[in-house]
Amino acid sequence: MKFGTKAIHAGVHPDPSTGAIMTPIYQTSTYVQDEPGVHKGYEYGRTQNPTRNALQNNLAALENGRFGVCFASGLAATDAIMRLLQPGDEVIASNDLYGGTYRLFTRVWATYGIKFHFVPMQDAALVEQCVNANTRLIWVETPTNPMLNIVDIAAMSDIATRHQLKLAVDNTFASPYLQNPLDLGAHLVVHSATKYINGHSDVIMGAIICNDSDIHDQLKFYQNAVGAVPGPQDCFLCLRGIKTLHLRMEQHCNNAEKIAAFLLTHPLVGKVNFPGFTDHPGHAVAARQMRRFGAMLSFSLKEDSLEKAVKVMSATKLFSLAESLGGVESLIGHPASMTHASIPIEERRKTGVLDSLIRLSIGIEDAEDLIEDLKQALECSR
Ligand SMILES: *Cc1c(COP(=O)(O)O)cnc(C)c1O
């Protein structure tokens, strides 16, 4: 089955009691049992929910995986993967991570005895140098946030295989439509479904997809035992959003390509980070492992001035100044003060997050209007 068909049909079935074609919102905390221990497979809402099951099965299909497990947020999903580790274990992660993931690793899990190495993963040799007897997990994000670096998932899988490590990929920026890490050798795929998967900026949710049934059993155990589960209404909204994921992603990508080309020629714009450019250092890898190049991009101003960047961000009318990404509407953000404020300034500058760096999440409006909006906002910074 191809992607669009799976988006609409995988994991969902008409409701057996009424024939309702759309998966009902099973807004219930518990399920009545016929006798103690005799039930229909559902005991308690934290443990199982039919709306959540449909979503989990649908997401598994979209990532070409066997199992999906949903969580109350992307970070709760990431947290569940960290629970697979033991004190003393080591993790190699990209030095250009989503700020919240970096915070979870360094301020929560590091205090429980997990050691993290943050390396520029575009260079596979640097990753391999960090591997030692305690290494258990490689954590990849690609494209990265906000620099849009590309990590070669197959190369990371090769290292993981040779050293018997697990490979987890945060696939939020690409979405399952553009990139399927399990096909490239990853063991775990993580999503902030808050972003492209739900796509309408009205749900916070996370998901993990995997193929190994032992890992799936452990994740399901933590889903229930820790309890960071999404509610049924949010699962319904997410399922509804997914039905247009393939159409949305095409329009997101079309718009992003046009806007990236516009920014490239603008006299006030410095560097434009977009993996779709043939001279982007990760372009060849992106072309190999992604269907298209995504709809996230960032750019600095020719004059690296915080003040001028603030002027641009305050002047846009269609691009809303907000954190997050992947919704139908275009967003503009300032990583240094917003999403990446929790990363120390020296770390931030090392990875190229300049004071004037502006990040765009390109929505699915009409590209011409978005370009006009950026044009007038850039003029305001003169
Ligand atoms: C937003 C985001 C997360 C965290 O997801 P939440 O749903 O906000 O908890 C993790 N990784 C990436 C790449 C993200 O963009």
- Which CATH number is 69's domain given? 3.40.640.10
The reply to whether 49 and 62 lie within a common domain is yes
Measured CA distances, 30 to 27, 39, 48, 180, 225 (Å): 9, 11, 9, 35, 16
Q: Which of 46, 220, 243, 271 is catalytic?
A: 46
- Cβ 91 vs Cβ 116: under 8 Å: yes
258 tagged catalytic: no
Euclidean distance between the first and final Cα of the chain, in Å?
Answer: 52
Per-residue pLDDT of the chain (382 residues; tens, 9 = 90+): 999 999 999 999 999 999 999 999 999 999 999 999 899 999 999 999 999 999 999 999 999 999 999 999 999 999 999 999 999 999 999 988 898 999 999 999 999 999 999 999 999 999 999 999 999 999 999 999 889 999 999 999 999 999 999 999 999 999 999 999 999 999 999 999 999 999 999 999 999 999 999 999 999 999 999 999 999 999 999 999 999 999 999 999 999 999 999 999 999 999 999 999 999 999 999 999 999 999 999 999 999 999 999 999 999 999 999 999 999 999 999 988 887 777 778 877 777 889 999 999 999 999 999 999 999 999 999 8
CA 77 / ligand 1 centre spacing (Å): 9
Answer with the one of 181, 207, 242 that is the final residue of a domain: 242
- Which CATH number is 338's domain given? 3.90.1150.10
The reply to whether 260 and 317 lie within a common domain is yes
The reply to whether 33 and 99 lie within a common domain is yes
The reply to whether 231 and 256 lie within a common domain is no
* 96/212 Cα distance (integer angstroms): 28
* 72/276 Cα distance (integer angstroms): 32
The CA R_g of the chain, rounded to the nearest whole Å, is: 21
The reply to whether 251 and 158 lie within a common domain is no
Within 10 angstroms of residue 95's Cβ, the number of other Cβ atoms is: 19
pTM: 0.96
The reply to whether 203 and 280 lie within a common domain is no
Measured from the CA of 325, which atom of ligand 1 is nearest?
15
Write down the pLDDT at residue 227.
98
Pocket test for ligand 1, best of 195, 204, 205, 238 (most atoms within 8 A of CB): 195
Q: Which of 170, 234, 355, 373 is catalytic?
A: 170
Write down the pLDDT at residue 375.
98
The reply to whether 179 and 307 lie within a common domain is no
Count of domains forming the chain:
2
Answer with the one of 223, 242, 261 that is the final residue of a domain: 242
Write down the pLDDT at residue 346.
81
Measured CA distances, 268 to 60, 286, 301, 372, 374 (Å): 44, 28, 6, 15, 11
Measured from the CA of 324, which atom of ligand 1 is nearest?
1
Range of the domain at 84: 3-242
The reply to whether 333 and 348 lie within a common domain is yes
CA 294 / ligand 1 centre spacing (Å): 16
DSSP letter for each residue of 233-298? HHHHHHHHHHTTHHHHHHHHHHHHHHHHHHHHT-TTEEEEE-TTSTTSTTHHHHHHH-SS--SEEE
